[in-house]
Structure 1
Amino acid sequence: MKAKSKIEPGRPEFMIGAHCLNHNAHSIGICYEGGLDIRGQPADTRTPEQKAALRALLKDLHRRYPQALIVGHHDLNPQKACPCIENVAREYASLQP
């Protein structure tokens, strides 16, 4: 997802991804451009357009996969900072099963 909200597809959904070790076969990875502040430290740098596009994409995925949990990479691997969103589960609580 680009800074101005353009969504660029990666692998097709039916293809196993390479986004999160031990979770690729049963998940869909979403990546947004940014995530680091000017010092190169992890930070939520999403633009308002990215936030809106991400919510729309997650709504669509929730409609198709209503039992899927929305989590950040760091929720599955604490050594990762991405997606640099303070609390993914809280931010997208209305889209959780």
Structure 2
Amino acid sequence: MNAKLWYLDPGEQIGYHAHSEQEEFYYVIQGEFSLKLGKSGEEEIREAGPGTFFAAGPEIGHGYRNVGDETGLVLAIGSPPVEDPGLDPHQLD
């Protein structure tokens, strides 16, 4: 697996994207976020604060934006540990 810590300033975001084979797990450590999660056309928007856990499987769109007033911190864990660049979820079947 790969693990990363993402520090996002207020208003900063990880855009809505998907991966071909990697599943990602996220844990919000600090900050307030708006999540976009789900297949294209079926996305849900949710609010997430510290202690929130969410996941996105292969070909499932996901992205999040810091909507708070402080720097946010998110732990992201991806598996398998492959180089899996982001895909446009709107282009997937």
TM-score w.r.t. structure 2 length? Answer: 0.30
Q: With CA pairs under 8 Å and 6+ residues apart, which has the higher RCO, 1 or 2?
A: 2
TM-score w.r.t. structure 1 length? Answer: 0.29
Larger Rg: 1
Name whichever structure is richer in strand by fraction.
2
